[in-house]
Amino acid sequence: MSLCPRFDHLLVLPHLRVQNANAVSSPLTHGFPSMTAFLGLMWALERRTRAAGLDLEFRAVGTVCHDHQEQVTEGGFVRAFRLTRNPVGKDGGTAAIVEEGRIHLQLSLVFAVRSECWSRDLERRHTDLAIVAELLAGMRIAGGSVLPPARPGRFRDQPWGLDLTGTEDDRKTEFRKARMRLLPGFALVSRDDCIEARLSELQSVSPDATRLDAWLSLSRINWRHQPGQKEGDKGEWINDRKGKGWIVPIPVGYGALGDLHEAGRVANARDASTPFRFVESLYSVGEWVSPHRLQSPEQMLWYADSQPEDGLYRCRNDYLPTADLIEQLYDLD
């Protein structure tokens, strides 16, 4: 398994207001944009900063959600997206409605970058931060528009950078001091381990259970009845999510459906100069974690892990739950 690419600075764009971002993250999930959208944003922003003459190499991205408002109908158990009414067609008939989920977001973007200039010139860093913020203001985030700050000039809305050029212990110390500036909010991290744990639980009862069964089980709240210990005690219903964190189903990239086609061989491809491949979404589970519980910046950051020979194009995150982290640090069996 790959690890987060090396970086020496964090570039933070805090409390961005995004209007009408894409709430449909995959064919099976909704409620927050996919991490593939934020990785795409990172690469597009890197191209713009290079064109502007900035010495910035973007390596990974993390997101902290402070507030959200999904555009769905209110009331009742079943909710539906609020859809726009399209203009009539050429024949005067009603145009088909394309299901589009939208969500308003307030979030902070955390980019892991490398820059030799930032290490030598602090004044250059302040100038670059302002340029990056200005470039991002003219871009789309997961299809949504970036709105101006509600109160321009407010300190908490200003972009800031963090030096992580020391030893591993120094990096963690600096991050622990700075992570409080991302509160209140929640960072999305990967919890692939939850699928393996739930699969083991299901197979202990039903040996034919698959990872899809484990994923679906983690995607919902499961209630089970625990009988009472005494005669006449009706017992209680127990929620299997209690004490296990805010677990959500998420897409984590794409898996190949066939071989790689040469550039220009597939009709109507978006880019005729790039090799083409048909893919489908890959799924896992994530967890929303408060930033003050993260011990290092790597636990927050997502990065690309492409394995074309295996047909995998994944987003990776190096978060480890506390128990696994302690076991790794002390090499416990």
Question: What is the DSSP annotation of 254-295?
Answer: EEESSPPBPTT-STT-S-TTS-B--EEEEEEEEEEE-GGG-S
Domain endpoint, select from 151, 169, 190: 190
Q: Which pLDDT band holds residue 325 (cuts at 50, 70, 90)?
A: very low
- Round to whole Å and give the CA distance between 273 and 234: 67
Q: How many domains does the chain have?
A: 2
Contact (CB, 8 A) for 189 and 325:
no
Task: Tell me if 144 is assigned to some domain.
Answer: yes
Lowest-confidence range among 6-20, 94-108, 277-291? Answer: 94-108
Domain boundary among 190, 219, 249: 190
Do 32 and 109 belong to one domain?
yes
DSSP per residue over 168-193, as a string? HHHHHHHHHHHGGGG-S-EEEEE-HH
**The pLDDT value given to residue 30:** 87
Residue with the two structure tokens 């999510």: 241
Q: Using 50, 70 and 90 to split pLDDT, how confident is the model at 239?
A: confident
Mean residue pLDDT of the chain comes to 86
| Same-domain pairing of 63 and 133 | yes
pLDDT tops 90 at residue 133:
yes
**Banded pLDDT at 134 (limits 50, 70, 90):** very high
Q: Is the pLDDT of residue 333 over 80?
A: no
Using an 8 Å Cβ cutoff, are 223 and 206 in contact?
A: no
At 48 the three-state DSSP class reads helix
- pLDDT beyond 50 at 328: no
Same domain? 137 vs 42: yes
Question: Are both 118 and 205 inside the same structural domain?
Answer: no
- What domain range includes position 252? 192-285+304-330
**Torsion sign across C-alpha atoms 133, 138, 139, 142:** positive
- Here the contacts of 26-30 (C-beta below 8 Å, separation 24 or greater) are 26/251, 26/281, 26/283, 27/281, 28/249, 28/251, 28/281, 28/283, 29/249, 29/250, 29/251, 29/283, 30/70, 30/101
pLDDT at 194 over 60: yes
Give me the pLDDT at residue 129, please: 93
In a shared domain, residues 29 and 144: yes
Whether residue 146 is found in the same domain as residue 202: no
Residues 147 and 220 in one domain: no
Overall size of the chain counted in residues: 333
How far lies 277's CA from each of 199, 303, 308, in Å? 31, 21, 10
Q: Are residues 165 and 130 in the same domain?
A: yes
Residues 236, 286: Cα–Cα separation, whole Å: 29
Query: pLDDT grade, residue 14 (50/70/90)?
Result: very high
Does 294 map to a domain? no
Q: Which amino acid is at 204?
A: S
Which residue among 148, 163, 190 closes a domain?
A: 190
Which of 41-45, 240-244, 295-299 bottoms out in mean pLDDT, i.e. has the lowest?
Answer: 240-244
Residue type, 227: P
Single out the residue of 304, 259, 267, 299 nearest to residue 282, CA to CA: 304
pLDDT of 332: 41
Question: What does the DSSP 8-state code read for residue 72?
Answer: B
Q: Compute the average pLDDT of residues 199-204.
A: 91
More confident residue, 152 or 329: 152
Q: 42-89 pLDDT, tens per residue?
A: 999 999 999 999 989 999 999 999 999 988 888 777 888 887 767 777
Q: Is 83 within a domain?
A: no
Residue closest to 288 by CA, chosen among 92, 68, 103? 68
Q: What whole-number percentage of the chain has pLDDT above 70?
A: 92
Mean pLDDT to the nearest integer, 217-224: 82
Identify whether residues 142 and 18 lie together within a single domain: yes
Residues 6+ apart with CB under 8 A from 26: 34, 251, 281, 283
Q: Provide the pLDDT for residue 97.
A: 66
Decide if pLDDT at 98 tops 80. Answer: no
Residue 272 lies in a domain: yes
- Cα radius of gyration rounded to whole Å, the chain: 23
Residues 182 and 200 in one domain: no
Q: Are 144 and 106 in contact (CB under 8 A)?
A: no
Angle between helices 211-218 and 192-205 (to 10 degrees): 110
Specify whether 165 is located in the same domain as 260. no
Average pLDDT over residues 100-114: 92
Question: Rounded CA gap, 92 and 147, in Å?
Answer: 35
Q: Does residue 143 share a domain with residue 208?
A: no
Mean pLDDT computed over 274-297 = 93
